[in-house]
Structure 1
Amino acid sequence: MQITRQTEYAVRVMLELARLPKGEMLSAREISEKQQIPEVFLKKTIQILARAGLVHTQRGPRGGVQLAKDPTEVTLADILVAVEGPLALNVCLVPGYECVNKPDCKVHRVLARAQKALVSELSCNSLAELAEL
């Protein structure tokens, strides 16, 4: 399993924004230059983060991007879910998926434990901690 480049970019954007003083904004161009992310791709990533409620965007000369939540309230798990969708190691672990083998499947139980550990680890540090605020 490997996260996508877009998810990597989303994490880098969120860390960059977490380092800003509260209320400040950065333009997509500034983020692009600081993080060396192609601006066109960055704008798509910012749209995804905005739809997920993780960032606010504002157009205009004083516009830009800023966190929509306090960085202490956001984790890597939140960012991954925003970009990738529900975290599931296998389709049988997607909420609502019904597998006929589930009641007797020992592999499902192992994967479920592994997924729980993964989500727990991705949720244990806030964006603020990761940005070293």
Structure 2
Amino acid sequence: MKISTRGRYALRLMLDLALHDTGEYISLRDISARQEISVKYLEQIVTVLGRAGLVRSVRGPQGGYRLAKVPADYTAGEILRTIEGSLAPVACLDDSPNACARAGECATLVLWERLSRAINETVDGMTLADLAEIQRAKAGNDYVI
């Protein structure tokens, strides 16, 4: 399983909204400048996030985007699944129960299930607030003597 550029950029966009939340709406142009991602690419991503109810938007000169919830209420998994779909490492894990005709005799299925569980526990165990705290700590260590 490989997270696409869209998935990575979606997390960066959401993290930027969390870090720069002042109660005002934030323009994609500002996010684009900070994240070095084109406005056009961000527009595609934010449309999906908006349809899923993860961000709110307002049009116009004072318009922009903001989080629909507080950062602690988002998991990285929720954001990634909104953009990527399933995070399962193999297609046979997309169905529940597993519809694969070989599931009962497939020894590798145990490996794929463990890997899927590890992926989901990791991305669902990290909130946007956690990522914001990590980012602030990294920014705080940016000093010169």
- Gap change, CA 1:85 and 1:128, over 3 Å in 2: same
How many residues matched? Answer: 133
Equivalence for 1:71: 71
Distance 2:13 2:73 in 1: 16
Equivalence for 1:102: 103
Give per-residue Cα distances to partners, 1:98-125, cap 9 Å, x unaligned.
1100112111121011101111011112
Give identity over the alignment, percent: 38
Distance 1:88 1:99 in 2: 14
The alignment yields a C-alpha RMSD, in angstroms, of: 1.4
Q: Which runs of 5+ in 1 are unaligned?
A: none
Q: Give 1:24 deviation, angstroms.
A: 2.2
Q: Which stretch of structure 1 is more off in the superposition, 55-64 or 95-104?
A: 95-104
Distance 1:42 1:119 in 2: 25
> What does residue range 40-59 of structure 1 map to in structure 2 within 5 Å?
40-59=40-59
TM-score (norm 2): 0.86
TM-score (norm 1): 0.93
Does residue 115 in structure 1 map to residue 123 in structure 2?
no
SS in 1 for 2:40: helix
Give per-residue Cα distances to partners, 1:81-101, cap 9 Å, x unaligned.
010002111011003451100
Q: Which stretch of structure 1 is more off in the superposition, 116-125 or 93-102?
A: 93-102
Distance 2:35 2:13 in 1: 8
Equivalence for 2:90: 90
Q: Which runs of 4+ in 1 moved over 4 A?
A: none
Q: Which runs of 5+ in 2 are unaligned?
A: 137-145
Q: Give 1:23 deviation, angstroms.
A: 2.5
